[in-house]
Structure 1
Amino acid sequence: MSNKLKTNLKMKNVIITSFILALILSSCADKSQAPAPAAPLLPVLAVSSANTITDTEYPASIQGTVDVEIRPQVSGNLDRVLVDEGAYVTKGQSLFKINERPFREQLNNALASLHAAEAALINSQLEVDKLTPLVQNKVVSDYQLKTAKASQKIAAANIEQAKAMVESARINLSYTNVTAPVSGYIGRLPKKQGSLVSAADIEPLTKLSDVHEVFVYFSLGETDFINFKAHYTGNTIGDKIKKLPPVTLILADNNAYEKSGKIDMVDGQFDKNTGAITLRATFPNANGTLRSGNTGKIRLGLQHDDAILIPQSATVEMQDKIFVFTVNNENKVNKMPIIVIGKSGVNYLISEGVKSGDQIVLSGIDKLQEGQLIQPEKATSKVAQIINKK
C-alpha cells in the first residue's frame, strides 16, 4: 500500500473518531441540561382543634345477673332428670327427682315419735291431776306432786323436740325434689338418671343462669381510671356513675350489640396483681342473645375539648411509631412523629407532634421523603371526607 493511501485512511479514522466523540459529548450535555421533575401536587390540610369523643375498647367478660350452681341437699339415687341441657326453666320448676323413700320413712318415724311424746304428755297430765287433790288434803307429800309436774314439763319438751324432728324430716323429703331457684337457662348435665348424688359432690348437678339482664365486667388501669374520673363531675364515684353516658358492647364477631348498657358499679379497690380496677355495666337481654361466659369488649367514649384530630389516612406507621408529613413555608415536607391517645371515627386524637394551624399532607405520603418539595393543594372539607373514607 502506498504512503498516500495510508495517510488517507488515517485521516478518515480521525474524522470518524472525532464525530463519535462529538455525539457522546452532545448526548451528555443534553442529559445534564434536562429539566428536573416537577414537584408532586398533593392535597394539604390545616390542622385544627375540635370537641370530640374518643372510643376506647376494653376486654370484657359476660355473666348473668344470677349464675347459680344447682346442688343436691340430700344424698340418694337420682330417680329422674326432668330437664334438658340448654332448656329455659321458670322459678320453682322441678329439675331433678331424688329417690324419696328413705326420707319418707324418716318422716314416718318422726311422726311416730311425736305421737308417743304427745301420749306421754297426756299421761303426765293425768298424774298431776291425780296428785293435786291428794296433796291439798295432805294425803301425799308435796314432793310427789312436784315430781309429777317436772315429768309433765319434760313430756312437753319432748313434744317440741319431736315436732322439730318431724319438720326436719319434711324438709329433707322436700329436698328430694330439686327445683329452680330463679328463671333462666340450664347448663350441662353431668349427672344422669341412676347416679348417686350427695351434697358433698365436687361437681354440681347443673348450673342455672338468669340472663334477662347481663353483667359485663371490664377493667381500667390506674391512669385510665384517673382520666375516666376526671371527665365527669360529682363528689363521689356514685355521683359520677349517674352522669356516665351509655356504653357499647362489641361482641366476638366485632359487631356492636343492639342494646346500650349502663355502668352501675366500680370496684372498691384495685387488684394488687394487675394494677387495674373492675367496673360493671348492665345490659338488657330480653331475647337471650347473650349468655353467661360470653366475651367481648366494652367501648367507652370519653369527651375531649379542643382536641387535635388527624385523619388516619394521613399517617404512616414505622417501627411502632406513627408519623405525619408537615409542610413548611418553603413547601418542603418534614416527617414528624406524633403521639396518639385515642381514636374518633376515622381520626386519631393527638397529644404531641403537631398543633393547630400546622399544614399536613393528606395523601400520597407513601413515596414522600424528608425535605422533598411539593406543590400543596388546599383540601376542601369534601376532599378531606373522601380521603378519610378511603
Structure 2
Amino acid sequence: MKPLLILLLAIFLAGCAGKNQQNQAASPPSLPVIRLVSSNETTYQEFPASIQGTIDLEIRPQVSGILEQIFVNEGARVEKGEPLFKIDERPFQEAVNNAKGSLESAKATLINAQLEVEKLIPLVANKVIADFQLKTAKSNYQSAKANVEQAKAAVATANINLGYTLIKAPVSGFVGRLPKKQGSLISISDLIPLTLLSDAHEVHVYFSLGEDDFINFNDKYPGKSIPERLKKLPRVSLVLSDKTVYQQEGQIDMVDGQFDKQTGSIALRATFPNPQGLLKSGNTGKLRLSMIHPDAILIPQSSTIEIQDKMFVYTVDSNNKVSKIPITILGTEGTNYLVKEGLKAGDQIVFDGIDKLKEGEVIKPEKVKQDPTKTTSR
C-alpha cells in the first residue's frame, strides 16, 4: 500500500506544479503605456552655411608706383573716405606739369591761328589775296582749337592719375591683411590686392537646398510666389561652429534664380544684424530654419521599432491587446519623433519593452507618471 500512496502523492504534486506554471504563463506582462495628446510643436532643420559681409571689396591700385605710406593697421575699422595708402606721387606730379605745359603751348598756337584768320579776312574781302589762303588759315585755327581740347584732356587725365596715388576707403568697414609693405613696388596688374575691406554691420548667410527640400520649402510656407513666401517666413537662427546660437535672429531675403547644375541645389540668403562685429566674412555655421506644427503628435523615439526602413509602434486597445502599426515620421524634436500619419490624440502606445512584444498579445498597462515627451531635452 505504501508504494501506491507515494505514487498518488507524486502525481498530485506534479499536477499542482503544472497548474501553477500555467497560471504564471497566462499572467500578462506589465508594461508602461502612455496616452497621446496633441500640442503645438516646432521642428528645426539645419543647413551648412557660409558668412559674408554685406560688402567685401578688394582694394587695388589704379596706378603703378612705390608704396610710400600705409595709414591703417590690419583689422582696423575705417570710415568711408579715410586714407589707406599713399603711392609716391612725384612721377605723376611731373606728368601733370608736362600736360599743363603742352596745354599752354596749344593755347598759344590757337591764338596765332586766330590772328592769322583775322588778318586774312580783310585781304580776301579786298581781293588782295585768294580765298584759298583764308580757308587754309581757318582750317589751321580749327586744328589748333582741337589741340587745345586734347591738351586739356591730357591735363585732366594726369590729375586723375595723381589723385590715384592717394587710395581712400570707398566704404566704411574693417581692413583685412596687408601683404604689401612700405617701399614695395605695386602695380595695377598685381594678382594680390593691397587689402580687403569688409563692411559687416550686417552679414549675408548663404545656404543651399536640394530639389526635394526646395519643393517642401515651397509647400510649407504660404504665398503664390517666392517674394510673397519670403515676406511670410519666420525669422531664422544661426548656429555657430562651436554649436552656440548667435544672439541675433535673421531673415531669409533672397532665393537664387536657378539651380546649380553640378550640385543640383539652389542657393538662399539670410541677412543678420551684426552690430558688435562678432561675425566676420569667411565664418561658417549652420542656418536653423524652424517650422511650427499645430496639433502635432509627439512620441519618444524609444517607443518605436524600425523594420525594413519602416517605423512601427505598438498601440493598446480597450482590451489591453497590442497591435503593431506603421507610422510616418515628419521630423524630430530632441529625442522625440513628430508623427505625420498613423497616430492621433487619445491613442495609447507601449512606452517601453516593445522588443519582446508580439502582435495581438495582451498586456497589463502601467501608467507612466510623467509624460516622457515633455522631459526629454529639446
Common fold, TM-score beyond 0.5? yes
Task: State the distance in 2 between where 1:205 and 1:144 align.
Answer: 59
- Find the counterpart in structure 2 of residue 157 from structure 1: 146
- Find the counterpart in structure 2 of residue 54 from structure 1: 43
Could you say if the C-alpha distance between residues 330 and 284 of structure 1 is closer, same or farther in structure 2, counting changes exceeding 3 Å?
Answer: same
Residue 326 of structure 1 aligns to a residue whose secondary structure is strand
- Map 1:192-271; keep pairs closer than 5 Å: 192-271=181-260
Task: State the distance in 1 between where 2:353 and 2:71 align.
Answer: 67
Task: State the distance in 1 between where 2:14 and 2:52 align.
Answer: 80
Deviation at 1:344, TM superposition (A): 4.0
- Find the counterpart in structure 2 of residue 12 from structure 1: none
Residue 193 of structure 2 aligns to a residue whose secondary structure is coil
Could you say if the C-alpha distance between residues 377 and 159 of structure 1 is closer, same or farther in structure 2, counting changes exceeding 3 Å?
Answer: same
Deviation at 1:53, TM superposition (A): 3.2
Could you say if the C-alpha distance between residues 183 and 370 of structure 1 is closer, same or farther in structure 2, counting changes exceeding 3 Å?
Answer: farther
Deviation at 1:111, TM superposition (A): 1.1
Q: Which amino acid aligns with 2:259?
A: F
Could you say if the C-alpha distance between residues 125 and 53 of structure 1 is closer, same or farther in structure 2, counting changes exceeding 3 Å?
Answer: same
CA deviation string 1:246-270 (max 9, x = no partner):
1111111222211111111111111
Deviation at 1:230, TM superposition (A): 2.1
Task: State the distance in 1 between where 2:14 and 2:69 align.
Answer: 101
Over the matched positions of the two proteins, sequence identity in percent amounts to 57
Q: Which runs of 5+ in 2 are unaligned?
A: 1-5
Residue 61 of structure 1 aligns to a residue whose secondary structure is strand
Q: Is 1:295 aligned to residue 294 of structure 2?
A: no
Q: Is 1:95 aligned to residue 84 of structure 2?
A: yes
CA deviation string 1:128-174 (max 9, x = no partner):
12112222222222221221111111111111111111111111111
Deviation at 1:66, TM superposition (A): 0.6
TM-score, normalization by structure 1 = 0.83
Q: Is 1:167 aligned to residue 156 of structure 2?
A: yes
Residue 44 of structure 1 aligns to a residue whose secondary structure is strand
- Find the counterpart in structure 2 of residue 177 from structure 1: 166
- Find the counterpart in structure 2 of residue 118 from structure 1: 107
Task: State the distance in 2 between where 1:27 and 1:75 align.
Answer: 110
Segment drifting more, 163-172 vs 313-322? 313-322
Residue 225 of structure 1 aligns to a residue whose secondary structure is helix
- Find the counterpart in structure 1 of residue 376 from structure 2: 388
Please say if residues 299 and 373 of structure 2, whose CA atoms lie closer than 8 Å, have aligned partners that are also in contact. no
Task: State the distance in 2 between where 1:99 and 1:128 align.
Answer: 46
Aligned length: 368
Task: State the distance in 1 between where 2:213 and 2:51 align.
Answer: 21
Q: Which amino acid aligns with 2:266?
A: I
Residue 170 of structure 2 aligns to a residue whose secondary structure is coil
CA deviation string 1:90-140 (max 9, x = no partner):
111111112222111111111111111111111111111211222222222
Deviation at 1:311, TM superposition (A): 3.2
Q: Which amino acid aligns with 1:327?
A: V
TM-score, normalization by structure 2 = 0.85
- Find the counterpart in structure 2 of residue 10 from structure 1: none
- Find the counterpart in structure 1 of residue 178 from structure 2: 189
- Find the counterpart in structure 1 of residue 74 from structure 2: 85
Deviation at 1:232, TM superposition (A): 2.8
Q: Is 1:272 aligned to residue 258 of structure 2?
A: no
Task: State the distance in 1 between where 2:326 and 2:375 align.
Answer: 21
Which aligned runs of 4 or more in structure 1 are off by greater than 6 angstroms?
Answer: 26-32, 316-321
Could you say if the C-alpha distance between residues 357 and 82 of structure 1 is closer, same or farther in structure 2, counting changes exceeding 3 Å?
Answer: same
Could you say if the C-alpha distance between residues 365 and 127 of structure 1 is closer, same or farther in structure 2, counting changes exceeding 3 Å?
Answer: farther
- Map 1:347-362; keep pairs closer than 5 Å: 347-352=336-341, 354-362=343-351
